[in-house]
Chains A and B, each alone.
Chain A
Amino acid sequence: MIQPTTRAPESQYAQSGSFKIHYHEGGSGHPLLMLHGAGPGANGWGNYNRNFAAFAANYRTIVPDHPGFGQSDSVVITDEPRDVVHARAFKDMLDTLNIDRTHIVAHSMGGGVALRFAIEYPERLDRLVLICPSGGGRSIMQPTPSEGGKSLAPVLRDPTVDTLRRFVHFLVYDPATVPEELIERRYKAMMERPEHLKNFLKSMSAPVPVASDLSSRLHEVQASTLLLWGRDDRFAPLDHGLKFVWGIPDARLHIFSKSGHWPQYEHTLAFNQLVLNFLAG
């Protein structure tokens, strides 16, 4: 059993366009940006604390909170697709940190953002790792919205330990692998910024998508790409992985069995090894 790295490096902030973005940074070498997914209470550290040490041993590893998440500025997004807004924020963040090019590892909604980033700012991206990313549009194998996706709004409307637990249990293949402390930690993080929940809910009712359907633009992704998926994902359907491996010109897809929507947590060692090997080229 992998234990989370308990102590996050000290909090830092970067003004990124109109957003103040919170992040943790460790390690040195080529930059690596790790973008988390979108669930209520999600933040960079909570998403990647089992992986951070392995990556920081090899890269200048930067784990930000998205706009509207964690300790970054909150936002209501009504005019542009959310992935466009976030991708721009991270481009601005790189500018502020004087980073020319970076690898990106990105999960779920963060994956949709990273896809958008790859399309809009190809000159700023080296290698791309997408973990069950959004951005694939409709499933051709499963009813949409997915079971897990449907469990999101109830937490936003009624944020309790119970609604959150239900959501987090959909994230993984085996809920027994999620200790109650993790739920409680996440609940505490979520309740520190209740405005994030309200604002996300408001943004969901705006006439712009949280995650654009980027399937028709995949051929524009120039970065060498590794896709990782959980066979038993109840949020992002596996057929999107197949769509992406057909659409992105230089891609490979690795699927873990007995894994839900969180393979970097559920299959930590294999995940770290595959991704580090891929980034090393």
Chain B
Amino acid sequence: MTTLSNETTSKFAQAGDIKVHYNEAGSGDAVILLHGGGPGATGWSNYFKNIGPFAEKHRTILMDQPGFGETDSVVIKDEPRDLVHARAVKDLIDSLGIDKVTMIGNSMGGASSIRFAIEYPDRINKLVLMGAAGGGISIMQPMPQEGIKIMFGLYNNPNMEDLKRMIQVFVYDPSFMTEALIQQRFDAMMKHPEHLKNFMDSMKPPALGLEDLTPRLSEVKAKTLIIWGRDDRFVPLDHGLKFLWGIPDAELHVFSKCGHWAQYEHADEFNQLVLDFLDRD
């Protein structure tokens, strides 16, 4: 297997009125992976440990969502953010000539993926969610969660110290996060200050943010694998249970000693679990 890099897999496509950046590798059934909503998050930064194994079996696309990475910046006021993102995915696969995709989403990208499954049921194969947003209120933890509070602070005032604080609670074992990785994330965050400002503008009332999708989970027709970190400090584990009860055909896998980033913290187990799930009838 050749080693993939951000540079060699980087591509752009027009998706409706948004120019979308994505990384692509491999061939076969298409899989789109959507990153989370932290400042500086991109498809590559979220999934660089996963794209290699996935690309051996699938046409693997890491999409920068609207307002993230090298995709166009957006201010979203009139619609829920997850709906805008889901539409951008649909426009992207139209533009790439892809009929059906498997959606894999982390955190905010999980909410975008659930929304995609609800809005475009004939365009989705399977659905995989890691610490997915879109579950509304917690019934077990005070909100906003510890990690979310730090994240919004960082959006308002991007700085290295708070970035490190966020990473401390982002993963179960912060020693995973190398200085190089933290620096990369800092650089990514500072590269597009317009994304940060626009994200916060899109959170101010009356903007809608991410919608509580729990009343609509029964509309998810795709077979779904829900994955959670036991020690998630961004999106609470009880949302995993809510999704398990609400989505008609779902299973839930909980990693212990795992925060909000299962695909990174337990990359090998994650890759096998998800690839097997995609293989299964």
Contact = CB atoms under 8 A, between A and B. Distances in A.
Given A245-B230, A250-B256, A252-B254, A257 B249 contact: yes
Contacts of B249: 257-258
B253 A254 contact: yes
A151 B230 CA distance: 33
Interface stretch (A26-34, A98-106, A167-175, A269-277): A269-277
Contacts of A242: 237, 254
Nearest to B252: A255
A121 interface: no
Interface in A47-73: none
Contacts of B255: 252
A246 B252 contact: no
Interface string A144-170: 000000000000000000000000000
Contacts of B237: 242
Interface residues of A, number: 21
The secondary structure that dominates the A interface is mixed
A277 B272 contact: yes
Interface residues of B, number: 20
A257 B276 contact: no
Contacts of B245: 231, 257
Contacts of B273: 274, 277
A246 B230 contact: yes
B244 interface: yes
B269 interface: yes
A88 B269 CA distance: 33
Contacts of B256: 245-246, 248-253
A66 B224 CA distance: 37
A252 B223 CA distance: 21
B150 interface: no
A256 interface: yes
Contacts of A253: 252-254, 256
Contacts, number: 53
Nearest to B269: A252
Contact of A273 (B250, B257, B280): B280
A228 to B, nearest CB: 10
A241 B251 CA distance: 14
A257 B250 contact: yes
Nearest to A227: B254
Contact of B276 (A249, A258, A277): A277
Given A270-B251, A270-B280, A255 B244 contact: yes
Interface in B232-281: 237, 241, 244-245, 247, 249-257, 269, 272-273, 276, 280
A231 B251 CA distance: 9
A257 B226 CA distance: 11
Contacts of A274: 273, 276
Contacts of B280: 269-270, 273
Best-surrounded residue of B237, B249, B273 (most CB of chain A within 10 A): B273
Contacts of B247: 257
Given A250-B256, A269-B280, A270-B280, A256 B272 contact: no
A234 B230 CA distance: 24
A255 B241 CA distance: 9
Given A273-B280, A277-B276, A257 B244 contact: yes
Contacts of A246: 230, 256
Given A245-B230, A273-B280, A277-B276, A256 B251 contact: yes
Interface in B29-61: none
Given A231-B245, A277-B276, 9 more contacts: A245-B230, A245-B256, A253-B253, A254-B251, A255-B244, A255-B252, A257-B244, A257-B245, A269-B280
11 contacts: A245-B256, A249-B256, A250-B256, A251-B256, A252-B253, A252-B254, A253-B256, A257-B251, A258-B249, A273-B280, A277-B272
Please list the 3 inter-chain residue pairs (A to B) with the smallest Cβ-Cβ separation, ordered nearest first.
A253-B254, A255-B252, A254-B253
Interface of B: 230, 237, 241, 244-245, 247, 249-257, 269, 272-273, 276, 280
